[in-house]
């Protein structure tokens, strides 16, 4: 069983084994989770990792096999049912009574996952669990704490708090039960403190991180390359970018625009490109591996991500690709929603415009395409900001300090407390 010493400013705690529970791990669209685990290991902390569902590797081929071998993926179907029943048979009567009461209810699977994982955490001596997203894994952690008295902390991101799904154990219950709530932007942290004042003291802000050394500074080679990266969904605003590119073409500028990603709007976006006869200028490139993305960033002139707030409230918070672009010394054109302005300093590392405004996006892109020295200045300052603010090493150390403080303040917490 792995053991180590958590180092904090006040004390060092022995044999405090940390576990992570993910819905999926790894997941191609959640590289920040993989980076966090890898950096914890680099810093000498090797967490136990559980995944409720199978991995989504996407096109990625560089996942570390040693990290992959750590992941305990829950079995499925009859095998899981048998093992979950075996785990619950030895649990106290209140737990078994709760399992019986929830039988057949929506989301009852989370209780059985909690018994399966919780019995194993107890054997490993785990005293703390960390979760990403207030979703499936968080609801499982809620029941782990309820059944086994094992504390959990939670990193929340975007739609899991902006437009939370409705479950009997919902966002309110999850946040009330967590020992620490970690938001990835000041915007989200302040929103949570306002909406849930009873939890305000447990809300922290720790940015997602990148390793700037893993990215190469762009070379600003002509012709200009406008790069955009993300899942092809409404809140990313790729339709706005395509319309902005139509305006750029009308102005007579030479450029290329490449949109990397896949998603449900692929056909719709492709039709939009065709209608505006932009086939020679705009290309939907599909999924790329992380190494391919690093290469494309190093060849670009500007990253454009015209994020929007959808009618249901869905929006981006802290898009990882913006950090990656900054680490690549790229200027950024985006919108002032969520925590984006915490990354992009308007007029210093990029330009921020109103959402749903193709003309404003086109004007901002024109400035950076026409004035390469300005683009280089923005990019250089962005790279420095990525190193100072969004370093994965720094931010994982901040996360570890939160874990250490939870452990230092922990008392024996009986189940069903």
Rounded CA separation 189/220 (Å): 36
Question: What single string gives the DSSP state of each residue in 9-25?
Answer: SS-EEES-EEEEEEEES
Q: Shortest CA distance to 302 belongs to which of 211, 365, 230?
A: 365
Question: What single string gives the DSSP state of each residue in 203-227?
Answer: EEE----B-GGGS-----PSSPEEE
Tokens of 244: 């902005």
Q: Name the CATH architecture for the domain at 5-209+392-409.
A: 3-Layer(aba) Sandwich (3.40)
229 contacts 293 by C-beta, under 8 angstroms: yes
Report, in angstroms and rounded to the nearest whole number, the Rg of the chain calculated over CA atoms.
Answer: 23
Rounded CA separation 87/135 (Å): 23
Q: 9-27: per-residue pLDDT in tens?
A: 333 333 458 999 999 999 9
In this prediction, residues 123-131 reach a mean pLDDT of 95
149 contacts 413 by C-beta, under 8 angstroms: yes
β-sheet with 48-53: strand ranges across:
71-73, 48-53, 17-24, 126-132, 151-156, 180-183, 203-205
Q: Shortest CA distance to 134 belongs to which of 169, 105, 100?
A: 169
Q: 266-285: per-residue pLDDT in tens?
A: 999 999 999 999 999 999 99
The crossing angle, in degrees rounded to 10, of helices 136-148 and 93-102 is 150
**Phi-psi map region of 132: left, alpha, beta (phi>0 left; psi -120 to 50 alpha):** beta
Q: Shortest CA distance to 110 belongs to which of 83, 148, 75, 143?
A: 143
Q: 201-217: per-residue pLDDT in tens?
A: 999 999 999 999 999 99
In a 10 Å sphere around its CB, with 0-12 CB exposed, 13-18 middle and 19+ buried, how is residue 22 labelled? buried
In this prediction, residues 378-390 reach a mean pLDDT of 97
Tokens of 236: 């990313």
Rounded CA separation 127/19 (Å): 8
pLDDT > 90 in the chain, percent: 89
Q: Shortest CA distance to 139 belongs to which of 106, 92, 103, 107?
A: 107
C-alpha distances out from residue 196 to 52, 131, 181, 187, 335, Å: 28, 19, 11, 14, 27
pLDDT grade, residue 326 (50/70/90)?
A: very high
The dihedral through the CA atoms of 5, 10, 150, 398 has a sign that is: negative
| pLDDT computed for residue 9 by the predictor | 33
Q: Which of these CATH numbers, 3.40.50.300, 3.40.50.2300, 3.40.50.720, 3.40.50.2000, describes 212-389?
A: 3.40.50.2000
Rounded CA separation 311/326 (Å): 29
In this prediction, residues 384-397 reach a mean pLDDT of 96
Rounded CA separation 56/348 (Å): 37
In the chain, domain spans: 5-209+392-409, 212-389
* Buried b / exposed e along 253-273 (16+ C-beta atoms within 10 A): bebbbbbbbbeebeeebbebb
Q: 347-383: per-residue pLDDT in tens?
A: 999 999 999 999 999 999 999 999 999 999 999 999 9
332 contacts 302 by C-beta, under 8 angstroms: yes
| pLDDT computed for residue 414 by the predictor | 60
3-state secondary structure of 155: strand
Rounded CA separation 28/225 (Å): 24
Q: What is the pTM of this model?
A: 0.91
Question: What single string gives the DSSP state of each residue in 126-147?
Answer: EEEEEEESSSHHHHHHHHHHHH
In this prediction, residues 316-332 reach a mean pLDDT of 97
In the structure, how many helices (H) and strands (E) does the chain have?
17, 15
CB atoms inside a 10 Å sphere around CB 58: 16
């Amino acid at each position: 069983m792995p053991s180590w010493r958590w180092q904090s400013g006040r004390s060092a705690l022995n044999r405090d084994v940390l576990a992570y529970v993910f819905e999926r791990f790894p997941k191609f669209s959640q590289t920040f989770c993989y980076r966090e685990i890898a950096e914890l290991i680099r810093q000498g902390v090797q967490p136990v990792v559980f995944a409720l569902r199978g991995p989504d590797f996407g096109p990625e081929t560089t996942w570390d096999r040693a990290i992959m071998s750590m992941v305990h993926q829950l079995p499925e179907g009859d095998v899981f049912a048998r093992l979950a029943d075996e785990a619950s048979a030895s649990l106290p009567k209140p737990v078994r009574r709760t399992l019986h009461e929830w039988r057949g209810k929506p989301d009852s699977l989370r209780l059985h996952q909690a018994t399966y994982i919780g019995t194993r955490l107890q054997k490993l001596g785990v005293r703390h669990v960390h979760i990403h997203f207030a979703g499936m894994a968080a609801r499982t952690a809620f029941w782990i704490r309820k059944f086994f008295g094992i504390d959990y902390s939670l990193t929340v991101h975007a739609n899991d708090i902006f437009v939370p799904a409705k479950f009997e154990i919902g966002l309110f219950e999850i946040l009330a039960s967590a020992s620490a709530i970690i938001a990835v932007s000041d915007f989200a942290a302040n929103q949570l403190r306002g909406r849930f004042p009873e939890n305000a003291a447990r809300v922290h802000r720790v940015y997602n991180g990148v390793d700037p050394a893993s990215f190469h500074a762009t070379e600003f080679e002509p012709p200009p390359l406008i790069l955009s990266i993300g899942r092809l969904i409404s809140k990313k605003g790729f339709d706005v970018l395509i319309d902005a590119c139509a305006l750029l073409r009308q102005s007579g500028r030479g450029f290329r625009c490449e949109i990397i990603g896949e998603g449900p709007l692929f056909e719709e976006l492709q039709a939009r490109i065709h209608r505006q006869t932009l086939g020679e200028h705009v290309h939907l490139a599909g999924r790329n591996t992380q190494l391919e993305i690093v290469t494309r960033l190093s060849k670009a002139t500007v990253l454009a991500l015209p994020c929007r707030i959808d009618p249901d409230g869905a929006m981006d918070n802290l898009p990882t690709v913006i950090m990656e672009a900054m680490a690549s010394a790229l200027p950024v054109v985006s919108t002032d929603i969520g925590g984006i302005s915490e990354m992009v300093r308007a007029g210093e590392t990029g330009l921020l415009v109103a959402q749903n405004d193709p003309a404003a996006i086109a004007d901002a892109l024109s400035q950076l395409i026409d004035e390469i020295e300005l683009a280089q200045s923005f990019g250089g300052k962005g790279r420095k900001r990525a190193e100072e603010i969004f370093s994965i090493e720094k931010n994982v150390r901040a996360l570890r300090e939160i874990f250490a403080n939870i452990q230092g303040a922990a008392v024996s917490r009986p189940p069903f407390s």
